[in-house]
Amino acid sequence: MTASVDVLVVGGGGAGLRAAIAVVEANPRLTVAIVSKVYPMRSHTVSAEGGAAGVIAADDTADEHVYDTVSGGDWLCDQDAVEAFVAEAPRELMRLEHWGCPWSRTPDGHIAVRAFGGMKNKRTWFAADKTGFHLLHTLFQTSLSYPQIRRYDEYFVTTLLVDEGRARGVVAIEVATGRVEGIVAKAVILATGGCGRIYPFTTNANIKTGDGMALAYRAGAPLKDMEFVQYHPTGLPFTGILITEAARAEGGWMLNKDGYRYLQDYNLGTPTPGPKMRSMELGPRDRVSQAFVHEQEKGRTVETPYGHVVHLDLRHLGAELIDRKLPFVRELCQRYQNLDPVTELIPVRPVVHYMMGGVGTDIHGATGLPGLYAAGEVACVSINGANRLGSNSLPELLVFGARAGAAAAEFASAVSLPAFSVVSRIYDEQRRLERELQRHTDGGERMADIRTEMQDAMEQHVGIYRDGGALAKAADKLEELRERFNRAGIDDHSRTFNTELLAAFELSFMLDVARCIVACALNREESRGAHQRTDFPRRDDERYLAHSVIHRNPDGTGRVEYAPVTITALPPAERVYGR
């Protein structure tokens, strides 16, 4: 079957919903389809806890937000994009206020802001510690008021349709029935989120498998800055569930096995008095995660069945503050660690959290493939550079979701629907999917085993610290796993809710994205932000003040090139904290 719309959005999370709304705001005559592999309110945006950055406080300025973002990104951010982001973020957050988002308030009724890592001023708007939940609810409810927006919930996209050098739609499987449907469109927006499930320990939901990145890459749109993978310093062991940075923003302490606040020994800033007070615990995420590794090397961490941990101490904050500002943190600790942070220490370890890289886009969300746009974590615009500051991601999906939606609407308003030739491509994909459904195991290979080995290789060789030898081992392992994947089969050959088949598609996407991460990491012979090479420990602006851009060759291998970083007002400087 084939359907047609003006603009098709892949992904029903914050970026996708904001983009869909923006399309209709820009041109109410356009029709929009949102294709999501989960019901929109199960998108990963719902799990964001800490808040959304936007300059609103009297003692804060846009220039300071720009500086914090560029410095935190180790000068790899495109500064024109950062400036646009900082200017538009407060307006987007206030728009959510008007749409019904219940931001937390000060006693006099003003919107409350809290401190966040790597930022000198308090500028993070929050809704207790369930900000993503309320933000996504607000966007979803708002989208329901537009009849132009139709949804394809629980449809899994397997390929982008490309014809005559332009994105023309997608082919997707309806999860409930196994029915394959082609959806043609004048423009496509990718908003599928990140790819944290490439690693074994991650804050990311199971749905974060790099689908959009792989779809774009296979279709000919290059990926950018893929080597920069952010670890969050406070994930629960075993589950990887995030303990939000807001816990440290409200005064939590990081303690090693001796009960010592070890972050004071690292270049993360020291507590300072006055309105711009910052805590050593609120250093940027890359530096705090790297400090954990050094503590482990010194024998100062606590060994557990799920790896080494340190402790996050909230006990001194008291039950009243925790229940008012961090209720979800308390709930997570009670449900998943069987402890109460009011009276007990929380074991935490660094876990993979966010991709700074993604589908390369311009400041309007346009990719290198005409008619294809991207926004949110799947995209790299780039405002995050080598390390994203906490609470910049939620306003990013709003600002650039809106920009991508407006740009796609303009593009769709000026072109016609694809020609009949696209239908033959839909039939080709239907036949391919039919073959995939019938694939049988050759040699006993299991998809789950391949996935586990991929995750282990990425954690062991492409983690917080890397070197050329380890990265080369990861590259060889991923090539081996790709060959084994081609021989692996599935046991479930039914069409109804065939999650094993979908897991195979996801693994294929993850293998492609993992190979891009490793290729870009091997090529960047320096240490910058979240990319730390022990064999090249210094930042090298002369050679690598540039974005890595990886293109897919016809044989499936990747080709890494470099593109200049846009610098406007802030020339590269030393990255200093605690100023």
Is the pLDDT score of 575 beyond 90? no
In 260-360, alpha helices (H):
285-297, 319-325, 327-336
Catalytic residue among 114, 197, 232, 285, which?
232
Cβ atoms of 231 and 353 closer than 8 Å:
yes
Q: How confident is the model at residue 269 (pLDDT cuts 50, 70, 90)?
A: very low
The token pair that represents 517 in the structure block: 């991460």
Is the pLDDT score of 272 beyond 90? no
Is the pLDDT score of 577 beyond 60? no
**Amino acid at site 181:** E
Catalytic residue among 114, 137, 248, 330, which?
248
Sign of the dihedral defined by the CA atoms of residues 372, 378, 446, 471, in that order: positive
Cα 510 to Cα 217: distance, rounded to the nearest angstrom: 12
Rounded to 5 degrees, what are φ and ψ at 269? 95, 155
Sign of the dihedral defined by the CA atoms of residues 391, 397, 400, 406, in that order: negative
For residue 232, indicate whether it is catalytic.
yes
How much is the pLDDT for 442? 62
pLDDT digits (tens, 9 = 90+) for 6-22: 999 999 999 999 999 99
For residue 311, indicate whether it is catalytic.
no
Q: How confident is the model at residue 443 (pLDDT cuts 50, 70, 90)?
A: low
Three-state secondary structure call for residue 320: helix
pLDDT digits (tens, 9 = 90+) for 27-77: 999 999 999 999 999 999 999 988 999 999 999 999 999 999 999 999 999
The token pair that represents 463 in the structure block: 């983690």
Cα 112 to Cα 94: distance, rounded to the nearest angstrom: 13
Q: Which of 376-390, 405-419, 464-478 is least confident? A: 405-419
